[in-house]
């Protein structure tokens, strides 16, 4: 059985490392600080989950990371660090990008960045409604692996999937990546409604309108409606907008309660991808001539241009009309 390599020892990278080990394959985790391993064999981001014996940990790639020995390389770093990570990537095996976002200055999605840096590599993207701590615990979950190459997407899904981690394959890389990026932005808005005490009705309305915006933007970038209605779209949106474990939701809730963005991020314990993604998505929508009032409001909120109260007032002041 070919090895699986995971790059990134954050909570998501560690969860994927544990999932990869469940397939029975040997696993190599490339961590920035491998010496931080705890006495119980776990890493700091998931201290309750020791890594099994079949997992090796170092700050380098394994000696032979070619496709003859390596089934896939899972890259689990935040989108803002993806370009620098891929620049240092030494492999010719298939690469699965496990981040959700869009690069702010270039408006490039993860697979675009991979093509910019390593056009020689075959790539895929993993996205879906997955909290890291639940994947680490082996609780039932489902997700999507998307690639322009159908056979590759299915092969990668078969290699990483297990009975408790059901993986579907897709060729709609545009829709899967857009859904994964945009749901983090909508989750900030959902959190803000709860943090501001506006209630569940407001959250449900906002999430539903946010899904409409995601669908419009996906269509403008080549995504399919079925993808936005599926795991990488609505599924991920529902989880992120309702689960307290979502860093993006918690960011919005803190902003809604009156904290500043700096105060919020200082205590977050990880990266909220929706913060850098909001402005980039708003700009992308502007270039595509797509109306995204919720995304625009979040972009203004995290940029410090609007307060939560002002953002809510702006959304409520929009004229009502036919639902579309």
Residues annotated within the binding site are 11-12, 32, 100, 128, 132, 183, 236, 246-248, 271, 273
Please give the full DSSP string across 187-237, using - where no structure is assigned: HHHHHHHHHTT--HHHHHHHHHHHHHHHHHHHHHTT--HHHHTSIIIIIHH
Long-range contacts of 304-307 (CB under 8 A, 24+ apart): 304/261
Alpha helices in the chain (DSSP H): 11-22, 82-87, 110-117, 132-136, 150-160, 173-195, 200-220, 225-228, 236-242, 247-257, 261-266, 274-288, 293-302, 308-316
Say how far apart CA 232 and CA 144 lie, in whole Å: 7
165 and 141 in contact (C-beta within 8 Å)? yes
Separation CA 298–CA 314 (nearest Å): 11
Residues tagged active-site? 183
Q: Are strands 123-127 and 141-146 parallel, antiparallel or unpaired?
A: antiparallel
Cα–Cα distance measured from residue 294 to residue 211, given in angstroms and rounded to the nearest whole number:
10
Exposed (0-12), middle (13-18) or buried (19+): which is 287, by Cβ within 10 Å?
exposed
CA distance 290 to 89: 36
b/e sequence 182-199, b meaning 16+ C-beta within 10 Å = bbbbbbbbbbbbbbbebe
What is the C-alpha separation between 90 and 93, in angstroms, rounded?
9
Q: What are the phi and psi torsion angles at 5 (to 5°)?
A: -105, 135
Going by the annotation, the residues of the binding site for sn-glycerol 3-phosphate are 100, 128, 183, 236, 246-248
The one-character DSSP state at 156 is H
Binding residues for NADPH, by number, are: 11-12, 32, 100, 132, 247, 271, 273
């Amino acid at each position: 059985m070919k090895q699986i390599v995971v790059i990134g020892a954050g909570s998501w990278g560690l969860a994927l490392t544990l999932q990869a080990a469940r397939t029975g394959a040997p696993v190599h985790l490339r961590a920035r600080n491998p010496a931080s391993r705890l006495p119980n064999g776990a890493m700091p981001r998931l201290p309750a989950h020791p890594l099994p014996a079949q997992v090796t940990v170092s700050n380098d790639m394994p000696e032979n990371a070619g496709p003859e020995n390596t089934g896939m390389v899972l890259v689990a770093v935040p989108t803002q660090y993806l370009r620098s990570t891929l620049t240092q990537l030494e492999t010719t095996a298939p690469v699965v990008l496990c981040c959700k976002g869009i690069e702010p200055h270039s408006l490039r999605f993860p697979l675009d960045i991979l093509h910019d840096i390593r056009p020689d590599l075959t790539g895929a993207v993993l996205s879906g409604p997955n909290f890291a701590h639940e994947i680490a615990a082996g609780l039932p979950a489902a997700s999507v692996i998307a690639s322009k190459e159908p056979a590759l997407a299915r092969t990668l899904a078969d290699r990483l999937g297990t009975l408790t981690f059901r993986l579907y394959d897709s060729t709609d890389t545009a829709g899967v990546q857009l859904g994964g990026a945009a749901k983090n932005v909508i989750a900030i808005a959902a959190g803000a409604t709860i943090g501001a005490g506006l209630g569940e009705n407001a959250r449900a309305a906002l999430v539903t309108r946010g899904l409409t915006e995601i669908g419009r933007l996906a269509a403008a970038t080549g995504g399919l409606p079925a993808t936005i209605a599926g795991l990488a779209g609505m599924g991920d949106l529902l989880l992120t907008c309702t689960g307290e474990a979502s860093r993006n939701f918690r960011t919005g809730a803190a902003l809604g309660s009156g904290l500043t963005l700096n105060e919020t991020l200082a205590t977050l314990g990880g990266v909220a991808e929706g913060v850098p993604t909001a402005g980039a998505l708003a700009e992308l929508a502007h270039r595509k001539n797509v109306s995204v009032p919720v995304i625009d409001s979040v972009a203004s909120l995290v940029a410090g241009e609007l307060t939560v109260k002002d953002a809510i007032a702006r959304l409520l002041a929009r004229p009502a009309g036919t639902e579309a």
